[in-house]
Amino acid sequence: MSLKADLLRQADDDLGVLKRALVGLDDEAMRRPWFGTWGIREILAHITGWHREMIPVLERIARGEKPLADGVSYADLDGWNARLVGARRGLTVAGLRAALDASHRAFLAAAAAVPESRFGPDKTATRVVDLNGPHHYREHAGQILAWRRRAGL
């Protein structure tokens, strides 16, 4: 199996891990802040936002262009995170779950359209897909599971 195919499969698998970490949590628990000022609701908005933000990056890579549009920088991650979460503040927990599923599908579709040759151990497409897919899902699933243990949930 190719690196690209492995990443796409791993993204699906690790999204499943993240979603299983949420099983049994009600809306109140999903809204309860525990990760700084964030709860799970904000984490889902954050992941969804990064998916949506990275789709044009993957589309540019697929066309053989530089990944970032002129003038775009992700150096201020805290600022980006705040904007991405803030843009989804009006969504319900159910809406965020649906948005996560939809953004995951769109993100993987954009990744699937990137030519195989653009994937490799030190290539941008690999980093974009891994950091915003499998790695991101595992990171937050682990944090959620640790919080649930501490909170007795």
The overall average pLDDT reported for the chain is 97
Amino acid at 2: S
Q: What is the mean pLDDT of residues 53-78?
A: 96
User: Scanning the structure block, which residue is given the tokens 């980093």?
Assistant: 127
The pLDDT assigned to 20 comes to: 98
Q: In whole angstroms, what separates CA 25 from the centre of its chain?
A: 20
Assign residue 9 the CATH number of its domain.
1.20.120.450
Q: What is the mean pLDDT of residues 67-92?
A: 95
Q: Name residue 35's beta-bridge partners.
A: 38
The number of domains in the chain is: 1
Q: Is the pLDDT of residue 108 over 90?
A: yes
The pLDDT assigned to 77 comes to: 95
The pLDDT assigned to 10 comes to: 98
The residue segments making up the domain with residue 23 are 3-151
Q: Rounded CA gap, 61 and 55, in Å? A: 10
pTM for this one?
0.96
CB 128 within 8 A of CB 58: yes
